[in-house]
Amino acid sequence: MAQQHSFDAWQSPLSGRYASKEMSHLFSNATRFSTWRKLWLYLAEAEKELGIDIPDEALEQMRANLELDAEQMKQAAEEEKRRRHDVMAHVHVFGRKCPAAAGKIHLGATSCYVTDNADLIFLRSGLDLLLPKLATVIARLRDFAHEHRALPTLGFTHMQPAQLTTVGKRATLWIQDFLWDLRNIKRARDDLAFRGVKGTTGTQASFLQLFDAFPDKHERVEALDEKVTKLAGFDEAMPVTGQTYSRKVDVDVLNSLVSLSASALKMATDIRLLCHLKEVEEPFEKDQIGSSAMAYKRNPMRSERVCGLARWLGNIGNSARETAGGQWMERTLDDSANRRLSIPEGFLTADVILTILQNITEGLVVYPAQIQRHIAAELPFMATENVIMTMVHLGGDRQECHERIRVHSHDAARVVKVEGGENDLVKRIMADDYFKPVHAIMDKLLDPMTFIGRAPQQVDSFLSKHVEPALQPYSDVIKHAAKAELSV
């Protein structure tokens, strides 16, 4: 196996460059194979409790050798090369360390007893790692939205200037997406059931034979399934399986991460556009270099990285779907190599994305003066309806007023677009005696705060009624969450 910092062999940047130590360790061979040994122990313990002759010494030796050292990993690799079977290679190596248990390890089981049940443990543990990280990102965005709840900014539809919103209100759109992800991931996590003890094609025939001497053998097989499930920390086992658990479970879990990738892609893209406008800027460290050639540049590289990783994560969902749909009858083996890639990489990618998003949200910089500059360039056009309505209220003719505004607006637009000048629509209105009735109140008609509707109130209501309750289960984690640092 390649070492973490190997320079002479390719390794995934997800584990070698980006992902957290905890998530990388979860999907490591060390965790996988020690989990297999725990599952063999659970099976032996439950079988003994239900009447199978397994010596106490066998269980003691198994408990004492649940972790693998480098020598055992080497032995297992040699055994696998010889036997062309990873599970049986580890059965033999485990048996050497536990001679009293050698003839009882894997009793009645098929390979999927350890591989599939271990995968379900990893899926649940992986989601348990992601949920508090996602909650922390939401909490950071909550603080950002509250701080800027009433800061007017241009809204954009079709990426063209539109009615004003606020910086905080825009952030709530990101938060709402992530709240749905929090719900989806938690639901996928809570829906996970154990494969349990099902035998080679899911019929439990081998275990029925194991308990053949007992008149209540069917009940004992059911009890075995339940006991192993409880020992592994699950509340229930799947009622039916083939040789494997349905790969639709993988689709369900990975789709919750795919949905997260869409939310991350949307937010990171918005931030990149705002960086282009110089209205918002992601964190930029003191010694950070934006470009090897253009020293002045402050590229939004964190958001760009999120976009790239989100595209990768989104496509992993297709792999899980095709794998689930392509399983024949009770199972085929074309799922194995694919799942060795898609499941760990899906979780590691989601982990990296959340770390970067936390780092971004903990250091977002807002530039109100630049935001106001953009508002000033567009607001005169948006304020024309206010001017018309006020003029009519003061006794003016709506159609005549509209025509004069239309002419002035087109002339002002020509100055901006053709001559490259500033928007002088307000000056034109102020110079036109027809609009004298509103000259004294033009500042009020152009006040950005009168164009943001209920945006601040919407932020307050959304945060209190929806965000706070969703974050409550994670309050301690959020409170003690360390500031997200990026290694590279």
What is the model's pLDDT at position 32? 93
Catalytic residue among 6, 85, 218, 291: 291
What architecture does CATH give domain 384-445? Orthogonal Bundle (1.10)
18 DSSP assignment: I
Instruction: Report the 10 Å Cβ neighbour count for 227.
Output: 20
In the numeric block, the tokens 């965005």 are attached to 141
pLDDT score recorded for residue 267: 97
How far apart are alpha carbons 170 and 33 in whole angstroms? 46
Please state whether beta strands 160-166 and 280-281 pair in parallel, antiparallel, or not at all (unpaired). unpaired
- Per domain, the residue ranges of the chain are 13-109+209-231, 112-153+164-196+242-366+454-488, 384-445
Question: For residues 292 and 231, is the Cβ–Cβ distance under 8 A?
Answer: no
291 is catalytic: yes
Question: Which pLDDT tens digit goes with each residue over 60-99?
Answer: 999 999 998 888 889 888 888 888 888 899 999 999 999 9
Number of helices and strands in the chain (H, E): 22, 4
- Residue 10, pLDDT above cutoff 70: yes
pLDDT of residue 3: 46
As a CATH number, domain 112-153+164-196+242-366+454-488 is 1.20.200.10
Q: How confident is the model at residue 52 (pLDDT cuts 50, 70, 90)?
A: very high
Q: Please count the residues of the chain.
A: 488
Catalytic one of 158, 292, 480, 487: 158
Domain 13-109+209-231, second-level architecture: Orthogonal Bundle (1.10)
**What is the model's pLDDT at position 459?**
97
Identify whether 263 is a catalytic site residue. no
Instruction: List, in order, residues 6 or more apart from 163 with CB less than 8 Å away.
Output: 155, 382, 451, 453
**Residue 151 phi/psi, 5° resolution?**
-85, 105
Q: State the burial class of residue 45 (Cβ atoms within 10 Å of its Cβ: 0-12, 13-18, 19+).
A: middle
Angle at the Cα of 158 (from 155 to 159), degrees rounded to 5? Answer: 60
Per-residue pLDDT tens over the stretch 413-436: 898 889 888 888 888 988 988 888
Pair of tokens at residue 74 = 């080497």
Tokens 């999120």, residue located: 306
pTM for the complete prediction?
0.88
| C-alpha–C-alpha distance, residues 169 and 398, integer Å | 34
What is d(CA 44, CA 36) in angstroms, rounded to the nearest whole number?
12
Structure tokens at 160: 């063209």
Between CA 81 and CA 84, with CA 82 as vertex, the angle to 5 degrees is: 65
CA distance readout (Å), 406 to 212, 379, 420, 426: 92, 15, 20, 13
Q: Are 62 and 40 in contact (CB under 8 A)?
A: yes
- Beta strands (DSSP E) in 31-159 are 152-157
pLDDT value of residue 2? 41
